[in-house]
Structure 1
Amino acid sequence: MKKLRVIAAAALLPWLAGCALPRPPSGTAAEVPDRWYAPLPHGGTQADLQRWWQQLGDPVLVDLVAAAQTANPNVASARSRIGQARATRVAAAAALWPTLDAQASTSRGSQQAEFLGTTATISQVGLQSTWELDLFGANGARRDAAQARLAAAEAGWHDARVAVAAETANSYLSWRTCQRQLVVAGNDARSRGETSRLTDLSMKAGFTAPATAALARASAAESAARETQQRAACETELKALVALTALPEPALREKLAAAWNEPPLTVLATVPALPAQVLAQRPDVFSAEQEVTAASAEVGATDADRYPRLSISGSIALTSVRADGISTSGGTWQVGPLAVSLPLFDAGRRAAASDAARDRYDEAAALYRAKVRDAVREVEQALIALDSARSRNENARIAAEDYRHSFNATEARYRAGLASLVELEDARRTLLAAETALVGLQREGLAAWVSLYRAAGGGWRRGEGVAAR
């Protein structure tokens, strides 16, 4: 009768578990607008983000991005975190299964009783198993939390690769536009230098006042200093590329020596029309979502820790005794005990752990909603910047061309003695500002394009994992 009561109690525990199983919190949905409010390039035509860099038609950029992703320590660290998360997931899942340990021992000594006064050798081998039944889902919840954090770690690896690609592209495009600025500065320096030379000759012949020649020399010196400063800026950007890609500087310079065709902003890629599609391919948003899932599972696990626990153990062993040339052996086995542990008093430790888990869940949910808002903001801002650069590009080009025509005419008038050096320098400064603005606008548009790549998730797709090493 006593055995029947024990069996009945054990049978009731799963039923009680089903009745009292903790319910994790819910309701973390973030509000996403149903459309973009910034202008979409090409009217929102679907773009393949995974081939984003190829759209520039620049194989050097593609190679540099690949090299940087291989060498970057943040990507390597993110990959290491995946391995750690995978190990944690395996350990959490293992808690749902019985443990099985092999045991072996041997001893030799003087024995009593029937072997009194003799020396005996006792050897034993056996198996020991213990299993805690996951009645209230604590171990299952911890496994789910570990699985969610593994998915978050994999998404973090993708996010690190996207960040490195964007940083490398920004650095590379900055170097390319810096080289264009260097060409503008060089042309300006040579033009001013030639004006200074001619003015100096005119002064020596007595046709130009010394003050005018001094102004020309000052203008030439200022322009030469500007060219030197621009060259230093380009060299600094190149050093950054060396550090990002880990390529030897001579090899990198050889790659960069290839001709570069400025990509027109009108052919750059777009993003899907719906914000939800973009958010689904942002690894940082997905990672934040998985953190919410993990925190929710941990709430269930800490709540389950406040309920009874049921475990069962068993063993089987073979024993051999040898004394005075006589050997005996035998086997033993045992199932049980079937143990129930019921928390009665812990000074509030389990309740505090449950409250802390709920607070962590609230924090993860708030961070997830903020991440969604940030993602929408980043895409909107990148779209606005790209549209602004594209809209101003034609006007800036026309302005630079017409200011060039105006400068050429003023220079011809100056050489004919029909214009003063002050007029020539004013026209030259205006031309320099227009050409510098045109190159700067090109850089602004490319930077917005890279920002759009980063904001749109960089081609990562939800569910993409990382192969185990």
Structure 2
Amino acid sequence: MKALNIWLAVPAALALSACAVQGPASKVDAQAPAQWQAPLPHKGELPELSGWWQRQGDPLLVQLIEAAQNVSPTIASARSRIEDARAQSVASGAALLPNLNGVLTSTRMSQQQANVPSNTTSQALLQSSWEIDLFGRNRAARDAAQARLEGAQAGWHDARVSVAAETANQYFGLRACERLLDVARQDAASRAGTARLTELMAKAGFQSPANAALARASAADGNSRAVAQQALCDINVKALVALTALPEPELRARLAAGAASAALSPAQGVTVPALPAETLAQRPDVFNAEREVAASSFEVAGARAERFPRLSITGSVGRGRIHAAGENVTADTWTLGPVQMTLPLFDAGLRRAAVDAAKVRYETAVSNYRGAVRQAVREVEEALVNLDSTDQRAADAQTALEGYRVAFTATEDRYKNGMASLLELEDARRTRLAAENTVVALQRERSAAWISLYRAAGGGWTAAQ
């Protein structure tokens, strides 16, 4: 009769297990804006951002990004977090299933009594124990671990996007530095030529010694600028060496080989969905924050379930052998039970405090999620503003450069013919140099804005459906 009661208790417990305790909402309103405030720099279909770098027409850039991703400690840490989260998910899921162990026992017993032989009892058993998840405590732990695993997987992609963006920014920065170095060297050569001409004219009596000194000072200043610019480019190269782990001589050889075809900014832009919600759905960091909200919700449910009874069942099945007085007796054995119900009665507020703490973590996760959404919106908006600004300034900057080049050439010709002063020439030179640097800096600013938009748009990541 007792065995029958036990067997009847099992399905009853299983029926009760459907009454899982619920936590707060696992999905909350992101509070994202309805539309972008900055102008979108494109129209048309969405490109595949995951292969964006390959479509820039610069094989060296792709190679450097791949090298940096292969050696990045940030990506390695993200990968380890995935493995840790996967192990936690497996462990949490295992708690929902019965535990099965094989047991071998052997006992020899002897009594200090006449005519009572010693005997040996041996058993081979399969023992099982199972906690029936009546109120969803174990299911909540499993779901929380799964949510964090999904978030960790998205975090790995976010790390790869970050490393790609950092490497690309460093690469385009180096190419801009090289262009500025060319400008500085041309300017230094021009100043040196003017200094030589002025020195000859001063010796012939057509220029004052003061003008000759000014020309020499200008030449020295131009050479100093070129040397300083060279140092900046060398520093950029060393930064790329640290990012990619490539030997510096090899990296310099690759950079020199690709210098002729290198661009100062991406050849192909980034398309952003018209609706902010669509863009946010492509952000791995936002998805990770959203999954943390879900995990925290499940943990609240698990903490609440800790305050309800627990039901566990144990049992075993096996075969035993008794050896006594030269005789062997074998038999199959099995046990079912005990069926144990644990009811929390008094814990001095421990479980209630655990629920309160879980609620606080949930509220923090919601706040962090909405903060991540606001930050994502800000990054997209800023990149769009910068792109629009560089687009509007590009034509004016180029027009200004062409005009200042013509003005400098005319002033230089007038100076050589004695019709313009050295001060006029130096003023025209400074204006032209500033215009040259402005055009290069504007192209560099545009490349940084495209890369920022690539990163802000999620880098080609999409959530698994």
Closer, same or farther: CA 112–304 of 1 in aligned 2, 3 Å: farther
Instruction: Tell me whether 1:411 sits opposite 2:412 in the alignment.
Output: yes
Partner in structure 2 of residue 453 of structure 1: 454
Instruction: Tell me whether 1:167 sits opposite 2:166 in the alignment.
Output: yes
SS of structure 1 residue aligned to 2:341: strand
Partner in structure 2 of residue 290 of structure 1: 291
Partner in structure 2 of residue 438 of structure 1: 439
Closer, same or farther: CA 14–105 of 1 in aligned 2, 3 Å: closer
Measure, in 2, the Cα distance between the counterparts of 1:115 and 1:415: 134
SS of structure 2 residue aligned to 1:38: coil
Closer, same or farther: CA 433–131 of 1 in aligned 2, 3 Å: same
- Asked if the contact 1:35/1:274 (under 8 Å) is kept, the reply is yes
Instruction: Tell which deviates more after alignment, 56-65 or 148-157.
Output: 56-65
Partner in structure 2 of residue 342 of structure 1: 343
Deviations 1:377-419 (A, max 9, x none): 1101100001111110111011111101100000000000001
Instruction: Tell which deviates more after alignment, 133-142 or 271-280.
Output: 271-280
- Asked if the contact 2:175/2:264 (under 8 Å) is kept, the reply is no
Measure, in 2, the Cα distance between the counterparts of 1:324 and 1:4: 37
Closer, same or farther: CA 73–53 of 1 in aligned 2, 3 Å: same
Deviations 1:361-381 (A, max 9, x none): 100011101111111111011
Per the TM alignment, residue 107 of structure 1 is displaced from its structure 2 partner at its CA by: 4.3
Closer, same or farther: CA 252–284 of 1 in aligned 2, 3 Å: same
Instruction: Tell me whether 1:148 sits opposite 2:147 in the alignment.
Output: yes
Per the TM alignment, residue 429 of structure 1 is displaced from its structure 2 partner at its CA by: 0.3
1:109-148 counterparts in 2 under 5 A? 110-111=110-111, 116=116, 118-148=117-147
Q: Which amino acid aligns with 1:399?
A: A
SS of structure 2 residue aligned to 1:125: strand
RMSD: 2.2
Q: Which amino acid aligns with 1:190?
A: A
Q: Which amino acid aligns with 1:308?
A: P
Measure, in 2, the Cα distance between the counterparts of 1:7 and 1:51: 59
1:270-349 counterparts in 2 under 5 A? 270-323=271-324, 325-349=326-350
Measure, in 2, the Cα distance between the counterparts of 1:418 and 1:275: 61
Q: Which amino acid aligns with 1:146?
A: A
**TM-score, length basis structure 1:** 0.93
Partner in structure 2 of residue 59 of structure 1: 59
Closer, same or farther: CA 409–265 of 1 in aligned 2, 3 Å: farther
Partner in structure 2 of residue 399 of structure 1: 400
Partner in structure 1 of residue 250 of structure 2: 251
Gaps of 5+ in 2: none
Per the TM alignment, residue 286 of structure 1 is displaced from its structure 2 partner at its CA by: 0.4
- Asked if the contact 1:109/1:121 (under 8 Å) is kept, the reply is yes
Measure, in 1, the Cα distance between the counterparts of 2:368 and 2:240: 33
Q: Which amino acid aligns with 2:206?
A: F
Per the TM alignment, residue 188 of structure 1 is displaced from its structure 2 partner at its CA by: 0.5
Measure, in 1, the Cα distance between the counterparts of 2:328 and 2:199: 119
Instruction: Tell me whether 1:33 sits opposite 2:38 in the alignment.
Output: no
- Asked if the contact 1:93/1:140 (under 8 Å) is kept, the reply is yes
Per the TM alignment, residue 123 of structure 1 is displaced from its structure 2 partner at its CA by: 2.6
Partner in structure 2 of residue 42 of structure 1: 42
Measure, in 2, the Cα distance between the counterparts of 1:304 and 1:113: 56
- Asked if the contact 1:96/1:134 (under 8 Å) is kept, the reply is yes
Closer, same or farther: CA 139–360 of 1 in aligned 2, 3 Å: same
Partner in structure 1 of residue 383 of structure 2: 382
Partner in structure 1 of residue 93 of structure 2: 93
Q: Which amino acid aligns with 1:124?
A: Q
Measure, in 1, the Cα distance between the counterparts of 2:45 and 2:103: 66
Measure, in 1, the Cα distance between the counterparts of 2:300 and 2:269: 46
Instruction: Tell which deviates more after alignment, 104-113 or 166-175.
Output: 104-113
Measure, in 1, the Cα distance between the counterparts of 2:2 and 2:450: 76
Measure, in 1, the Cα distance between the counterparts of 2:188 and 2:454: 37
- Asked if the contact 2:316/2:334 (under 8 Å) is kept, the reply is yes
Deviations 1:239-264 (A, max 9, x none): 11111111122221222121234367
Per the TM alignment, residue 10 of structure 1 is displaced from its structure 2 partner at its CA by: 6.3
Closer, same or farther: CA 264–353 of 1 in aligned 2, 3 Å: closer
**TM-score, length basis structure 2:** 0.94
- Asked if the contact 1:145/1:297 (under 8 Å) is kept, the reply is yes
Measure, in 1, the Cα distance between the counterparts of 2:320 and 2:115: 16
Q: Which amino acid aligns with 1:269?
A: V
Measure, in 2, the Cα distance between the counterparts of 1:463 and 1:291: 16
Q: Which amino acid aligns with 1:367?
A: N
Measure, in 2, the Cα distance between the counterparts of 1:86 and 1:313: 28
SS of structure 2 residue aligned to 1:50: helix
Measure, in 1, the Cα distance between the counterparts of 2:367 and 2:61: 38
Instruction: Tell which deviates more after alignment, 121-130 or 331-340.
Output: 121-130
Per the TM alignment, residue 330 of structure 1 is displaced from its structure 2 partner at its CA by: 3.1
Q: Which amino acid aligns with 2:308?
A: Y
Measure, in 1, the Cα distance between the counterparts of 2:355 and 2:8: 30
- Asked if the contact 2:282/2:458 (under 8 Å) is kept, the reply is yes
Closer, same or farther: CA 264–89 of 1 in aligned 2, 3 Å: closer
1:188-203 counterparts in 2 under 5 A? 188-203=187-202
Closer, same or farther: CA 461–112 of 1 in aligned 2, 3 Å: farther
Closer, same or farther: CA 110–13 of 1 in aligned 2, 3 Å: closer
Measure, in 1, the Cα distance between the counterparts of 2:59 and 2:311: 62
Closer, same or farther: CA 23–115 of 1 in aligned 2, 3 Å: farther
Measure, in 2, the Cα distance between the counterparts of 1:340 and 1:219: 92
Partner in structure 1 of residue 210 of structure 2: 211
Measure, in 2, the Cα distance between the counterparts of 1:75 and 1:115: 75
Closer, same or farther: CA 275–293 of 1 in aligned 2, 3 Å: same
Q: Percent identity?
A: 55
Closer, same or farther: CA 369–193 of 1 in aligned 2, 3 Å: same
Partner in structure 1 of residue 186 of structure 2: 187
Per the TM alignment, residue 430 of structure 1 is displaced from its structure 2 partner at its CA by: 0.4
- Asked if the contact 2:174/2:236 (under 8 Å) is kept, the reply is yes
Measure, in 1, the Cα distance between the counterparts of 2:290 and 2:420: 69
Measure, in 1, the Cα distance between the counterparts of 2:58 and 2:301: 52
Per the TM alignment, residue 12 of structure 1 is displaced from its structure 2 partner at its CA by: 5.5
Measure, in 1, the Cα distance between the counterparts of 2:113 and 2:79: 63
Per the TM alignment, residue 317 of structure 1 is displaced from its structure 2 partner at its CA by: 3.3
Per the TM alignment, residue 53 of structure 1 is displaced from its structure 2 partner at its CA by: 1.7
Instruction: Tell which deviates more after alignment, 5-14 or 269-278.
Output: 5-14
Instruction: Tell me whether 1:102 sits opposite 2:113 in the alignment.
Output: no
Deviations 1:145-201 (A, max 9, x none): 010000000000000000000000000000000000001111110000111111112
